[in-house]
Amino acid sequence: MSKKQRVALLGCGFIGEVHAKNLVAHPGIELVYVADTDPSRVDMFSQRFDTRGATASQAIQDDSIDMVLIASATPTHADLLEAAARAGKAIYCEKPIDLSLDRARRVADAVLPLNVAITVGFNRRFDASHQQLKQQLRQGRIGEAELIQMVCRSSEMPPLSYLQASGGQMRDQAIHFFDLLRWLTDDEVCEVAAMGSALVQPEITRFGDVDTSVLLMRMQRGALAQLDNTRRTGYGYDERISVMGAKGMLESGSQKPQGVTCYQGSQIQQPGLFPDWFSRVQATYYAHLDAFVRSLNGESVTDLPGLEDGLKAQAIAEAAVISLAEGRFCQVALATL
C-alpha cells in the first residue's frame, strides 16, 4: 500500500482553493497545514478543509511534512521553493517560478543539486485531448511536426488587480502554451516575434501589458508555430492546438460541455463552448496532482513538468516580452541551466 503524502498548502487564494479541494479529495494525501499571509483566509481554509493553520515557515520546517504545494502570490514562489527544497520536501509550485527569469535561474542553481522532487504547475499537459495529440505525435502518425497553430482565448478579463501582479499576458497566460509547444514537439523555441494590443482594457498599457496578442515562433528543428491569445471573447473559452506534418494533421480542438444539437424548424442550435477557462481545465489540476503523487510513490510517470521546463517556458515568455516592447524578432535564451 502506498504511503499517504502529508502536505502543506501555501496560499489560500483562488488557486489555493482549487488545490485544497483536490488535496482533500485525493486518497493518497493528507492535508496537514494551510498557510497564508492573511490570517482570516487561514481560519476559513482550516475550518472548511478540516486542517490546521500555520505560517509558511512552520509548515516547511515540520519534519512530518512530505510535500509542499506553493499556490501563493507569484513574488513569493522563489523564496518558498528554495526554503522547501532545503528542508527536503517534495514541491508542487505554481507557475511562474518568479517574475524575473534571472531570479528563477538562481533558484534552480540552488535547488537542483538538492535532488528533491519538483513539479511546476503546467497543468495543461494533463488535458486528455492534448495528451492524445502528444501520444499520436510520438507514434509518428503525421510525421515530424512542421506547422503548429495554437489558440488561447479566455472568455472574460481578470480583475485589474490580478493583471497588475500577474507579470503580463506572456508570463501569465501564454506561458502555458509555450510549455505545451515544447512538450508536444520535443523541440525548443529559438526565436519569437510578438505583436500585441490592449483592445479590451486599454488602461493596462500603464504597466506595459496587452490583452490581445499574436506570436510567431521558430523551433530548433525548423518547424514554425503560431499562437493567438486574448483575455476576452464573446463566445466562451476557446483553447485548441493543431499540428501539421508531411502525412497529415492532428488537432486537439475546442471543447463543449454538452454534445446535443437541436434541429427545430428552420434553425439549428448547437452547444457552445465552456463558459470560462476554469470550467474547461478544472480536471487537469487533479490529474497533474495525481501524477505527481504517483511519482512520489515510485511509479514511473512521464510528462511531469519540472523545474527546467518552468525555466525554458519562462525564457520564451521573456523573449516575447522583449519582442512586444521592441517590435523585433527576439532570440530565446535556450541555455537556461
> What pLDDT does 336 receive?
53
46 exposure class (CB count in 10 Å sphere: 0-12, 13-18, 19+): middle
Q: What is the mean pLDDT of the chain?
A: 95
Please say whether the beta carbons of 7 and 23 come within 8 A: yes
Number of domains into which the chain is organized: 2
Biggest alpha carbon–alpha carbon distance for the chain: 68
CA angle, residues 237, 243, 247, in degrees to nearest 5: 145
pLDDT band at 4 (very low <50, low <70, confident <90, very high): very high
> What pLDDT does 337 receive?
53
Are residue 143 and residue 58 in the same domain, yes or no? no
Q: Measuring CA to CA, how many Å separate 17 from each of 73, 263, 324?
A: 13, 40, 33
Least reliable range by pLDDT among 91-105, 247-261, 277-291? 247-261
> What pLDDT does 1 receive?
56
Q: Which tens digit of pLDDT belongs to each residue from 22-49?
A: 999 999 999 999 999 999 999 999 999 9
User: DSSP class of residue 171?
Assistant: I
Q: Which tens digit of pLDDT belongs to each residue from 157-166?
A: 999 999 998 8
Please report whether residue 58 resides in a domain.
Answer: yes
Are residue 139 and residue 264 in the same domain, yes or no? yes
Q: Measuring CA to CA, how many Å separate 291 from each of 123, 179, 279?
A: 11, 17, 21
The distance of Cα 66 from the centroid of its chain, to the nearest Å, equals 23
Place of cell 463558459: 275
pTM metric for this prediction: 0.94
**DSSP-based helix, strand, coil % in the chain, nearest 5:** 40, 25, 35
Please report whether residue 121 resides in a domain.
Answer: no
CA distance 28 to 294: 9
pLDDT at 258 over 90: no
Where does a domain end: 59, 94, 116? Answer: 116
CA angle, residues 54, 304, 37, in degrees to nearest 5: 20
pLDDT at 221 over 70: yes
Per the structure, the complete domain to which residue 192 belongs is given by 128-275+311-331
CA angle, residues 245, 196, 215, in degrees to nearest 5: 15
Least reliable range by pLDDT among 45-54, 114-123, 255-264? 255-264
User: DSSP class of residue 208?
Assistant: T
Are residue 133 and residue 111 in the same domain, yes or no? no
CA distance 252 to 135: 12
Please say whether the beta carbons of 243 and 145 come within 8 A: yes
Are residue 84 and residue 153 in the same domain, yes or no? no
Neighbouring C-beta atoms of residue 158, cutoff 10 Å: 17
Are residue 163 and residue 215 in the same domain, yes or no? yes
Q: Which residues pair with 240 in a beta bridge?
A: 151
> What pLDDT does 271 receive?
87
pLDDT band at 335 (very low <50, low <70, confident <90, very high): low
Q: Which tens digit of pLDDT belongs to each residue from 42-81?
A: 999 999 999 999 999 999 999 999 999 999 999 999 999 9
Q: Rounded mean pLDDT of 121-147?
A: 97
Are residue 269 and residue 154 in the same domain, yes or no? yes
Q: Rounded mean pLDDT of 136-156?
A: 97
Place of cell 439549428: 268
Q: How would you classify residue 260: left for phi > 0, otherwise alpha for psi between -120 and 50, otherwise beta?
A: beta
CA distance 24 to 149: 37
pLDDT at 309 over 70: yes
> What pLDDT does 334 receive?
73
pLDDT band at 119 (very low <50, low <70, confident <90, very high): very high
Where does a domain end: 75, 91, 116? Answer: 116
Are residue 182 and residue 319 in the same domain, yes or no? yes
